[in-house]
Amino acid sequence: MGAASFLSLETRAPTFYTTSLSTLTPILETTTLDTTLRVNETFYSIQGESSFAGCPCFFIRLGGCPLRCHYCDTEYAFRESAPRTLRSLLQEAREVACPLIEITGGEPLAQPRAFALIRMLCEASFTVLIETSGSIDIRPTDPRAILIMDLKTPGSGECGKNLLGNLEHLRPHDEVKFVLTSREDYLWAREMIESHQLASRTRAILLSPVAAQAVGKEIKGCAALDPRALAEWILADRLPVRQQTQLHKHIWEPQTRGV
């Protein structure tokens, strides 16, 4: 990112985001570079999921999430966060100088000003990935950002929180992910893919078998799903999907934070 684009953002303050959604407009119209978000951690690592897996990436993990998935591996983001200004996040992203940024959580979109952060980073010419559960209205998302929507299966315990209207607002460059805990979850995902024609409306559909959870590591726990079983179901059904694992957990110890 060049200095010019950074300076142009500075001159854009105090208002650099507007939205037609009446509930968000009052919040976002008052957003400036001094506005704060609750941030759990930032780090530079290898992108572990999605069609960007394997790419170096700068991560911004926001605090908080309204869901409580059985297999959640980032519960620490619910209770550990500190305020950071948009200005400081932009400055850090600029110093890291990685063209790919992922905003994750927790549930990043649970903080309405996250939409302003997304817009700001898109304006600064970063490629911005958003990992969201799909339980928050995605319509205010900057159209340049790439959504990776993690639809919650019955096995997550949070299936009822899916905001299915969001599926109508996915763009062709977005991706949909399903974390699967069982054959029942797989059949549910297959039905969702077919009934909502997700393959033709998104760039990728990602199926992830839930990983074995460590005992006593802040995770409530649920049984792992055998990746080979999932692969065989996909092949038998000729599903137009991409099976994935969490690459970063193969590179580093699964409980390692900041990777």
Segment contacting ligand SF4 (CB under 6 A): 29-37, 69-77, 90-98, 249-257?
Answer: 69-77
Q: Indicate the helix (H) or strand (E) that contains 208.
A: strand 204-209
Residue 106 engages ligand SF4 in binding (rule: CB under 6 A) = yes
d(CA 10, CA 251): 38
Q: What CA–CA distances, in Å, run from 72 to 12, 116, 177, 217?
A: 38, 26, 15, 11
Q: Which is nearer to ligand SF4, 102 or 107 (CB)?
A: 107
Residues that contact ligand SF4, how many (by CB under 6 A): 10
Q: How far is the CB of 73 from ligand SF4 (least distance, A)?
A: 7
- Contact with ligand SF4 (CB under 6 A) among 63, 105, 155, 209: 105
Q: Which is nearer to ligand SF4, 19 or 104 (CB)?
A: 104
Judge residue 205's burial from the number of C-beta atoms within 10 Å of its C-beta, 0-12 exposed, 13-18 middle, 19 or more buried. buried
d(CA 9, CA 22): 24
User: Helices marked H in 41-96 — which ranges?
Assistant: 76-79, 86-96
Residue 107 engages ligand SF4 in binding (rule: CB under 6 A) = yes
Q: How far is the CB of 106 from ligand SF4 (least distance, A)?
A: 5
Summarize as ranges the residues that interact with ligand SF4 (CB under 6 A): 65, 67-69, 72, 74, 105-107, 133
